[in-house]
Structure 1
Amino acid sequence: MPKFITCINCIDGRTQLPVIEFLKQKYDADFVDLITFPGADGVLARGESKAVEMIKKNVETSVRAHSSNLIAIVGHFDCAGNPVDEKTHIENIKSCVEKISSWGLGLEVIGLWVDSSWDVVQVK
Protein backbone atom coordinates (compact mmCIF):
# COMPACT_ATOMS: atom_id res chain seq x y z
CA MET A 1 0.00 0.00 0.00
CA PRO A 2 1.47 3.40 -0.98
CA LYS A 3 2.48 5.79 1.79
CA PHE A 4 0.96 9.28 1.60
CA ILE A 5 1.70 12.57 3.32
CA THR A 6 -0.70 15.51 3.32
CA CYS A 7 0.93 18.90 2.74
CA ILE A 8 -0.59 22.36 3.08
CA ASN A 9 1.51 24.67 0.96
CA CYS A 10 1.39 28.02 -0.82
CA ILE A 11 0.34 28.09 -4.46
CA ASP A 12 3.83 29.30 -5.39
CA GLY A 13 5.18 26.69 -7.81
CA ARG A 14 8.76 27.31 -6.71
CA THR A 15 8.05 25.55 -3.42
CA GLN A 16 6.30 22.43 -4.68
CA LEU A 17 9.16 20.23 -5.90
CA PRO A 18 11.59 21.01 -3.06
CA VAL A 19 8.89 20.25 -0.48
CA ILE A 20 7.74 17.06 -2.20
CA GLU A 21 11.32 15.81 -2.54
CA PHE A 22 12.07 16.64 1.12
CA LEU A 23 8.98 14.83 2.39
CA LYS A 24 9.49 11.79 0.18
CA GLN A 25 13.12 11.43 1.25
CA LYS A 26 12.85 12.25 4.96
CA TYR A 27 9.60 10.38 5.60
CA ASP A 28 9.86 7.62 3.00
CA ALA A 29 6.60 8.65 1.33
CA ASP A 30 5.45 7.46 -2.06
CA PHE A 31 3.11 10.40 -2.69
CA VAL A 32 2.41 13.86 -1.30
CA ASP A 33 -1.13 15.23 -1.47
CA LEU A 34 -0.87 19.01 -1.93
CA ILE A 35 -3.45 21.40 -0.57
CA THR A 36 -2.48 24.82 -1.84
CA PHE A 37 -3.63 28.29 -0.90
CA PRO A 38 -1.88 31.66 -1.35
CA GLY A 39 0.12 32.28 1.82
CA ALA A 40 -1.33 29.21 3.52
CA ASP A 41 0.73 29.63 6.69
CA GLY A 42 -0.53 33.19 7.16
CA VAL A 43 -4.13 32.31 6.34
CA LEU A 44 -4.19 29.51 8.92
CA ALA A 45 -2.27 31.51 11.54
CA ARG A 46 -4.69 34.45 11.19
CA GLY A 47 -7.67 32.10 11.33
CA GLU A 48 -9.42 33.34 8.20
CA SER A 49 -12.51 31.23 8.79
CA LYS A 50 -13.75 30.43 5.27
CA ALA A 51 -10.27 29.60 4.01
CA VAL A 52 -9.47 27.57 7.14
CA GLU A 53 -12.70 25.58 6.71
CA MET A 54 -11.82 24.82 3.09
CA ILE A 55 -8.24 23.82 3.93
CA LYS A 56 -9.41 21.64 6.83
CA LYS A 57 -12.01 19.90 4.64
CA ASN A 58 -9.34 19.16 2.02
CA VAL A 59 -6.94 17.85 4.67
CA GLU A 60 -9.67 15.56 6.01
CA THR A 61 -10.37 14.28 2.50
CA SER A 62 -6.68 13.56 1.88
CA VAL A 63 -6.26 11.79 5.21
CA ARG A 64 -9.44 9.75 4.76
CA ALA A 65 -8.86 8.81 1.12
CA HIS A 66 -5.14 8.07 1.32
CA SER A 67 -4.54 7.22 4.98
CA SER A 68 -1.87 9.88 5.30
CA ASN A 69 0.29 9.43 8.35
CA LEU A 70 1.74 12.95 8.49
CA ILE A 71 0.57 16.51 7.82
CA ALA A 72 3.01 19.27 6.86
CA ILE A 73 2.41 23.03 6.80
CA VAL A 74 4.77 25.13 4.68
CA GLY A 75 5.85 28.76 4.67
CA HIS A 76 8.39 30.19 2.26
CA PHE A 77 10.71 33.04 1.36
CA ASP A 78 9.34 35.73 -0.98
CA CYS A 79 5.70 34.78 -0.45
CA ALA A 80 3.24 37.08 -2.23
CA GLY A 81 0.28 35.65 -0.31
CA ASN A 82 1.87 36.21 3.11
CA PRO A 83 4.46 38.97 2.57
CA VAL A 84 6.11 38.96 6.00
CA ASP A 85 9.68 38.45 7.20
CA GLU A 86 11.18 35.03 7.96
CA LYS A 87 10.72 35.38 11.73
CA THR A 88 6.99 36.04 11.30
CA HIS A 89 6.68 33.11 8.88
CA ILE A 90 8.33 30.80 11.43
CA GLU A 91 5.95 32.06 14.14
CA ASN A 92 3.01 31.50 11.76
CA ILE A 93 4.19 27.98 10.93
CA LYS A 94 4.53 27.05 14.61
CA SER A 95 1.05 28.46 15.28
CA CYS A 96 -0.31 26.43 12.36
CA VAL A 97 1.23 23.22 13.69
CA GLU A 98 -0.66 23.74 16.95
CA LYS A 99 -3.89 24.67 15.18
CA ILE A 100 -3.80 21.69 12.78
CA SER A 101 -2.92 19.37 15.68
CA SER A 102 -6.09 20.56 17.43
CA TRP A 103 -8.26 19.31 14.54
CA GLY A 104 -8.33 15.86 16.14
CA LEU A 105 -6.96 13.90 13.22
CA GLY A 106 -4.51 12.02 15.43
CA LEU A 107 -1.54 12.56 13.11
CA GLU A 108 1.87 14.12 13.55
CA VAL A 109 1.95 17.67 12.20
CA ILE A 110 5.21 19.31 11.16
CA GLY A 111 6.19 22.77 9.97
CA LEU A 112 8.51 23.43 7.05
CA TRP A 113 10.29 26.58 5.94
CA VAL A 114 11.54 27.01 2.36
CA ASP A 115 14.42 29.50 2.36
CA SER A 116 15.80 31.84 -0.31
CA SER A 117 17.86 28.99 -1.81
CA TRP A 118 14.70 26.85 -2.02
CA ASP A 119 16.08 24.49 0.63
CA VAL A 120 13.54 22.97 3.01
CA VAL A 121 14.10 23.14 6.75
CA GLN A 122 11.88 21.52 9.38
CA VAL A 123 10.92 24.10 12.01
CA LYS A 124 8.69 22.04 14.29
Structure 2
Amino acid sequence: MAQGTFVTAINCMDGRVQEPVINWMKEKYQVDYVDMVTEAGPNKYLLDGTEEQVESMKKKVEISFHKHGSKVVAIAGHHDCAGNPIDKEEKIAQINQAKKKIQTWGLEVEIIGLYVNENWEVEQVD
Protein backbone atom coordinates (compact mmCIF):
# COMPACT_ATOMS: atom_id res chain seq x y z
CA MET A 1 0.00 0.00 0.00
CA ALA A 2 1.24 3.49 -0.81
CA GLN A 3 2.21 5.95 1.91
CA GLY A 4 -0.25 8.76 2.43
CA THR A 5 -3.98 8.93 1.80
CA PHE A 6 -5.61 9.02 -1.61
CA VAL A 7 -8.84 9.75 -3.44
CA THR A 8 -9.43 9.40 -7.18
CA ALA A 9 -10.73 11.83 -9.80
CA ILE A 10 -11.79 10.95 -13.33
CA ASN A 11 -11.19 14.38 -14.77
CA CYS A 12 -10.79 16.20 -18.04
CA MET A 13 -7.29 16.48 -19.49
CA ASP A 14 -7.84 20.28 -19.66
CA GLY A 15 -5.16 21.83 -17.46
CA ARG A 16 -7.56 24.50 -16.21
CA VAL A 17 -9.54 21.98 -14.16
CA GLN A 18 -6.72 19.97 -12.59
CA GLU A 19 -5.86 22.24 -9.66
CA PRO A 20 -9.43 23.20 -8.72
CA VAL A 21 -10.45 19.52 -8.54
CA ILE A 22 -7.29 18.47 -6.68
CA ASN A 23 -7.61 21.29 -4.16
CA TRP A 24 -11.33 20.70 -3.60
CA MET A 25 -10.91 16.96 -3.05
CA LYS A 26 -7.90 17.35 -0.75
CA GLU A 27 -9.80 19.84 1.38
CA LYS A 28 -13.12 17.96 1.42
CA TYR A 29 -11.63 14.53 2.20
CA GLN A 30 -8.51 15.61 4.11
CA VAL A 31 -6.19 13.46 1.96
CA ASP A 32 -2.60 13.80 0.83
CA TYR A 33 -3.03 12.92 -2.85
CA VAL A 34 -5.56 12.83 -5.69
CA ASP A 35 -4.97 10.16 -8.33
CA MET A 36 -6.02 11.57 -11.71
CA VAL A 37 -7.48 9.54 -14.56
CA THR A 38 -7.80 12.00 -17.45
CA GLU A 39 -9.48 12.06 -20.84
CA ALA A 40 -10.93 14.77 -23.05
CA GLY A 41 -14.57 15.00 -21.92
CA PRO A 42 -14.33 12.09 -19.45
CA ASN A 43 -18.06 11.79 -18.71
CA LYS A 44 -18.89 11.43 -22.42
CA TYR A 45 -15.88 9.12 -22.83
CA LEU A 46 -17.12 6.91 -20.01
CA LEU A 47 -20.64 6.73 -21.43
CA ASP A 48 -19.93 6.55 -25.17
CA GLY A 49 -16.41 5.15 -25.39
CA THR A 50 -15.58 1.72 -26.74
CA GLU A 51 -15.48 -1.23 -24.38
CA GLU A 52 -11.67 -1.11 -24.52
CA GLN A 53 -11.57 2.62 -23.69
CA VAL A 54 -13.91 2.23 -20.72
CA GLU A 55 -12.01 -0.84 -19.51
CA SER A 56 -8.74 1.13 -19.62
CA MET A 57 -10.29 3.84 -17.46
CA LYS A 58 -11.69 1.24 -15.07
CA LYS A 59 -8.28 -0.43 -14.68
CA LYS A 60 -6.70 2.89 -13.70
CA VAL A 61 -9.40 3.49 -11.08
CA GLU A 62 -8.89 -0.07 -9.79
CA ILE A 63 -5.16 0.60 -9.34
CA SER A 64 -5.99 3.67 -7.26
CA PHE A 65 -8.45 1.63 -5.18
CA HIS A 66 -6.34 -1.50 -4.71
CA LYS A 67 -2.81 -0.03 -4.53
CA HIS A 68 -3.44 3.40 -3.03
CA GLY A 69 -6.47 2.60 -0.88
CA SER A 70 -8.68 5.26 -2.46
CA LYS A 71 -12.18 5.25 -0.98
CA VAL A 72 -13.66 8.07 -3.11
CA VAL A 73 -14.02 8.33 -6.89
CA ALA A 74 -15.13 11.61 -8.45
CA ILE A 75 -16.30 12.01 -12.03
CA ALA A 76 -15.81 15.60 -13.13
CA GLY A 77 -17.09 17.74 -15.96
CA HIS A 78 -16.50 21.40 -16.64
CA HIS A 79 -17.56 24.59 -18.35
CA ASP A 80 -16.01 25.22 -21.81
CA CYS A 81 -14.92 21.61 -22.39
CA ALA A 82 -13.47 21.14 -25.88
CA GLY A 83 -13.86 17.35 -25.68
CA ASN A 84 -17.53 17.49 -24.69
CA PRO A 85 -18.98 20.90 -25.66
CA ILE A 86 -22.48 20.75 -24.15
CA ASP A 87 -24.31 23.01 -21.70
CA LYS A 88 -24.17 22.69 -17.91
CA GLU A 89 -27.52 20.90 -17.53
CA GLU A 90 -26.62 18.23 -20.08
CA LYS A 91 -23.16 17.86 -18.53
CA ILE A 92 -24.62 17.34 -15.06
CA ALA A 93 -27.00 14.71 -16.46
CA GLN A 94 -24.01 12.94 -18.03
CA ILE A 95 -22.06 13.15 -14.77
CA ASN A 96 -24.95 11.47 -12.95
CA GLN A 97 -25.17 8.74 -15.63
CA ALA A 98 -21.40 8.24 -15.38
CA LYS A 99 -21.69 7.84 -11.59
CA LYS A 100 -24.16 4.99 -12.16
CA LYS A 101 -21.77 3.35 -14.62
CA ILE A 102 -18.89 3.56 -12.13
CA GLN A 103 -21.14 1.91 -9.51
CA THR A 104 -21.35 -1.15 -11.77
CA TRP A 105 -17.58 -1.64 -11.36
CA GLY A 106 -18.22 -3.10 -7.91
CA LEU A 107 -15.65 -1.07 -5.98
CA GLU A 108 -16.39 -0.22 -2.36
CA VAL A 109 -15.98 3.52 -2.82
CA GLU A 110 -18.02 6.69 -2.46
CA ILE A 111 -18.80 7.97 -5.96
CA ILE A 112 -19.36 11.69 -6.39
CA GLY A 113 -20.01 14.02 -9.30
CA LEU A 114 -18.24 17.35 -9.72
CA TYR A 115 -18.82 20.27 -12.06
CA VAL A 116 -16.20 22.99 -12.51
CA ASN A 117 -18.02 26.21 -13.39
CA GLU A 118 -17.02 29.23 -15.51
CA ASN A 119 -15.15 30.69 -12.51
CA TRP A 120 -13.13 27.44 -12.12
CA GLU A 121 -14.94 26.69 -8.88
CA VAL A 122 -15.92 23.11 -8.05
CA GLU A 123 -19.58 22.29 -7.40
CA GLN A 124 -20.66 18.88 -6.15
CA VAL A 125 -23.62 17.60 -8.16
CA ASP A 126 -26.30 15.04 -7.31
Give the TM-score of the pair, scaled to structure 1. Answer: 0.96
Paired AA for residue 77 in structure 1: H
Percent identical among aligned pairs is 47
- In the TM superposition, residue 41 of structure 1 has moved relative to its aligned partner by 0.8
Q: Are 1:111 and 1:123, in contact at CA under 8 Å, matched by a contact in 2?
A: yes
RMSD: 1.0
1:71 and 2:51 aligned: no
Residue from 40, 43, 48 that aligns with 1:41: 43
**Unpaired segments of 5 or more residues in structure 2?**
none
2:84 — aligned with what? 82
Paired AA for residue 43 in structure 2: D
Give the TM-score of the pair, scaled to structure 2. Answer: 0.94
Q: Are 1:72 and 1:109, in contact at CA under 8 Å, matched by a contact in 2?
A: yes
- What aligned pairs does 1:1-124 form with structure 2 within 5 A after superposition? 2-124=4-126
Q: What's the secondary structure of 2:120's corresponding residue?
A: coil
**Unpaired segments of 5 or more residues in structure 1?**
none
Q: Following superposition, which runs of at least 4 residues in structure 1 exceed 4 angstroms of deviation?
A: none
- In the TM superposition, residue 47 of structure 1 has moved relative to its aligned partner by 4.5
